[in-house]
Amino acid sequence: MTTRTKDEGDLANKSEHGAGTLAVGGAASAYDRELQVARDAAIAAGEILQRYFRDGGYQIDSKGKNNPVTTADFEADSTLKQILRDAFPAYGWLSEETVDNDDRLTRERVWIVDPLDGTKEFIKGIPEFVVAIALADHGVPVMGVTYNPIKDELFCGVRGAGCTLDGKAVTVSHTRALEHATILASRSETARGEWKAYEGRVIVRPIGSVAYKLALVAAGQADATFTLTPKNEWDIASGVALIVAAGGRVTDLHGKEVSFNQREVKTPGFVASNGHLHAQLERMLPARDHK
């Protein structure tokens, strides 16, 4: 396994994209500086997660049923907040591990972060957890960075400028037939038997972390993912930005695009796909009003 330090990540960024204007997928964007800072922040937070994953020594608390939180969550959150807010003090802030307030609702641009998405996998020693950072501009997720520090996978995307995995351009898959589609499923949901209805109709592959599943779909390593379980904005914001940047589509369970930086941060499920499969997936799900 290759460990990417912050300084090495900076050097990699320069070698992969040039020492000048940072670009995603070869295209410059209006969010180049935000992307560079977000990547540095994700790598710095990832180093914290990697250290605790390797050495242990963290405390585990609970925020509710099946919702653990660790020392690593809070330490990574503090690092993200310091790097991102110091660089962009005018931007709002929404994080799973920071007490929310209405200030962000007054800001045009808002950082939406999950310092450790996949805490249960982290605790169990499964390397399917990530740092997830998104930037919402007037409610639209325009930029996403998702970093798996154990597998050293760095996903970056900017709406209209493309998506990369470790500096190489990636796009969503081209699968068009549902029976050939690989759908990433929640480990918890599959353990509860919630995916049995789809077995035999699609290829179901359980993976931890919502943000990681979305990133893998963006990189074309799977064709889609969905859930009927409510998720918070910080769970999905980065992944939505990545998938859209990579040419895919994400909607809520009523077929509408998800808007971010809302007063109510919980979204009642979503469908994320390469775009080709979207309508077929919506028809496969339990009947609802697709407006």
3-state secondary structure labels for all residues of the chain: CCCCCHHHHHHHHHHHHCCCCCCECCECCCCHHHHHHHHHHHHHHHHHHHHHHHHCCCCEEECCCCCEEEHHHHHHHHHHHHHHHHHCCCCEEEECCCCCCHHHHHCCEEEEEEEEECHHHHHHCCCCCEEEEEEEECCEEEEEEEEECCCCEEEEEECCCEEEECCEEECCCCCCCHHHCEEEEEHHHHHCCCCHHHECCEEEEEECCHHHHHHHHHCCCCCEEEECCCEEHHHHHHHHHHHHHCCCEEEECCCCCCCCCCCCCEECCEEEECCCCHHHHHHHCCCCCCC
Lowest mean pLDDT across 12-21, 158-167, 232-241, 254-263: 12-21
Share of the chain above pLDDT 70, in %: 87
| Burial environment of residue 208 by CB neighbours within 10 A (0 to 12, 13 to 18, 19 or more) | buried
Integer angstrom CA distances of residue 81 from 33, 102, 110, 111, 138: 16, 17, 12, 9, 20
- For residue 200, what pLDDT is reported? 87
In DSSP terms, 114 is beta-bridged to 132
pLDDT band for 22, please (50, 70, 90 cuts): very low
- Mean pLDDT score of the chain: 89
Q: Which residue has the tokens 């919402």?
A: 136
Instruction: Give the Cα separation of 104 and 92 in Å (integer).
Output: 4
| 7 has a pLDDT exceeding 90 | no
- For residue 286, what pLDDT is reported? 84
pLDDT band for 207, please (50, 70, 90 cuts): very high
pLDDT band for 124, please (50, 70, 90 cuts): very high
| 144 has a pLDDT exceeding 50 | yes
Share of the chain above pLDDT 90, in %: 75
- For residue 80, what pLDDT is reported? 98
- For residue 65, what pLDDT is reported? 63
Mean pLDDT of 115-129: 95
- For residue 68, what pLDDT is reported? 84
Q: pTM to 2 decimals?
A: 0.89
Retrieve residue 263's tokens: 């007063």
Mean pLDDT of 255-268: 94
Integer angstrom CA distances of residue 282 from 185, 232, 244, 275, 278: 15, 21, 18, 11, 6
| 243 has a pLDDT exceeding 50 | yes
Lowest mean pLDDT across 24-38, 104-118, 177-191, 253-267: 24-38
Domains of the chain (ranges; CATH) run 6-170 (3.30.540.10), 178-284 (3.40.190.80)
